[in-house]
Amino acid sequence: MVRSAIDSVAVDPFLQMLFVVNQEEHISTIPSLNCDQPEFYWIFRNIDFVQWDSANCSQVLWLSGPPKCNIHQVSSYIVKEKAPKIEYCFLYFFCSAAVGEKSVVSLFVHTLLYQIVSCSPMDKKNSIVRNFLHSLVDGIFKKDPNQLFEGPSETWLKRILDAPTDDELWTALKAVLAKEQERELFIVVDGLDKVQHEKREFINGVRTFVEHLQQRTSKVKILLTSRPQDEIKEILDGLPCIEYDKERKGLVAPRFLKEKI
């Protein structure tokens, strides 16, 4: 009965029930930048950044630097410059905006799900919501086959959204993207060091999520940013990285740079 009811869930009321971080409002508070500013040369004129940005295959890049580097401005710039110009799915999450009682994994998964649905064609929105909910219900019934969902749809939908573990949330997000294999993705996750609770668990989840996405049949570009903290370095070890003052010093010509950004 629950599975049948899920198939009739309306998209708009469901989206209003998600625990979504208002990323646009947060980005509006971040000062804008010009990629020709010398303080950002270590990123924008770095050969590793340009290769990541221009590659025609799946790529991940981790930017790491102290607070004085203002990397959040770079993330904001990329979102503002690229999101309106691309045809594929652009997802972004600024960890500094993820505050509240809900776990950061819930906020991350729900926010990205909201963005996925929002940038999808009308004829696909329903199936994305259904895939997400069916995955969560599978996890719930696996733990308790006798679980009952009664009453109005709003009541049991809220229970479904409140019930999952972090692992089940990650699984549901992967299930949604598995159905969207033909769509190219661009994902920005800014400020991993800003996570206040269960930081290690969340960053481990992001690392696993990134590795999962790299196995997609279509292209995915992923940008991660953080301060150079030992804990984060341990978890993200092995990912392509530009760390401030330790970066590879190969630079590109400004004219070439402007053609690529």
Q: How confident is the model at residue 73 (pLDDT cuts 50, 70, 90)?
A: very high
How much is the pTM? 0.89
* CA-CA-CA-CA dihedral for 12, 17, 19, 25, to nearest 10: 50
Q: What are phi and psi of 151, to 5 degrees?
A: 90, -170
The pair of structure tokens assigned to 90 is 């652009």
Q: What is the pLDDT of residues 8-67, one digit of tens each?
A: 788 998 899 999 988 999 999 999 999 889 999 999 999 999 999 988 888 999 999 999
Residue 73 and residue 252 in contact, taking contact as beta carbons nearer than 8 Å: no
Q: What is the pLDDT of residues 177-224, one digit of tens each?
A: 988 777 888 999 999 999 988 899 999 999 999 999 988 877 899 999
Q: What are phi and psi of 185, to 5 degrees?
A: -120, 145
Please tell me the predicted confidence (pLDDT) of residue 139. 82
Residue 210 and residue 48 in contact, taking contact as beta carbons nearer than 8 Å: no
Half-sphere exposure of 49 (CA within 13 A, CB side): 30
Domain edges within the chain? 2-260
Q: What is the pLDDT of residues 239-248, one digit of tens each?
A: 999 999 887 7
